[in-house]
Amino acid sequence: NRIENPIPVIRTRGTTRPLLQHWLNRKMHIDWTANYITAGEIVAERLLDAVPISPEKLKTIYYPVECPDLPLKPPGDYRTEFEIPQKAKVLAVVGRIRPVKGQRILLQSLSQLLTEFPDLVLLIPYRDTASNEPEMQALHNDIRRFKLEAHVRLITVREDIRQLMGFADVGVVSSVESEVICRVAVEFFSVATPVVAFPTGCLPEIIRHGENGYLAETQTAESLTEELRKILANPELCERLGQGARRDAETRFNPQIMLTETLKVFEQALNH
């Protein structure tokens, strides 16, 4: 028998992987789901392409971030700890060492930037990657090949990652795949660090070009270098972008927004 007042089902989706086309899965999405919460517009678009559902059922709610009081107090002097010259600019890329994260492309970009910024340093705080894994060995090989030993700092797991992100002049998201939920970009924003990123996943939605960072046109070292150069060469621009990044963290990615918008979806489902 048909249930007169069925309990509404709300599904969350945070991947752009193809939807399974099994008949039961399609029926679940088309007939048995009242509303959807997606992690990005790109997720919503892929879902609409996969199943015939009304766009009114979908709501994009971005990953939120807590904004700490600034300036953050580091546990020590990072320039002393990592042997960084006082006037050197600092880049940072945070995450696992994996091909999809694009760190090797970033190393190529770093080697290109050194002609203009000879003291430039790249911080790579990382996790979940052992020294004997192929990805880490390939990274070390590239560091040697490009003669970047004096410019790269590989940093294992520690408690002050957010302080390191705030210490950097520019955050980089060099991922070439995935990044449907890009936590690291908004975490850079929360400490007023602008971001340069590849146009991967939801990053074109998160990065407002010229407002909180820059979006490279293509997933190449040359394109990344071009955007990084603009910020590194202009301290006033870097400061302005950092302020824009912090504003976005406080407004667009505020946890209260996530809560409010999520409750609205629940109300919509209950009142349907």
pLDDT tens string 231-270: 999 999 999 999 999 999 999 999 999 999 999 999 999 9
Tokens of 69: 């009081």
pLDDT at 178: 78
**Could you tell me what percent of the chain has a pLDDT over 90?**
85
All structural domains of the chain with their residue ranges: 10-63+254-271, 78-250
Tokens of 195: 């971001």
Residue 5: pLDDT band by 50, 70, 90 thresholds? low
Stated pTM of the model: 0.91
- Average the pLDDT over each of 4-13, 84-93, 148-157 and give the range with the smallest value: 4-13
What is the arithmetic mean of pLDDT over 75-96? 97
Bigger pLDDT: 173 vs 31: 173
CATH of domain 78-250: 3.40.50.2000
pLDDT single digits (tens) 16-48: 888 888 888 888 888 889 999 999 999 999 999
Q: CB 30: neighbour CB atoms within 10 A?
A: 11
Residue 182: pLDDT band by 50, 70, 90 thresholds? confident
Residue 212: pLDDT band by 50, 70, 90 thresholds? very high
Q: Over the chain, what is the mean pLDDT?
A: 94
pLDDT at 174: 97
pLDDT at 1: 46
Contact 201, 42 (CB under 8 A): yes
Residue 15: pLDDT band by 50, 70, 90 thresholds? confident
Tokens of 57: 């059922």
pLDDT at 4: 56
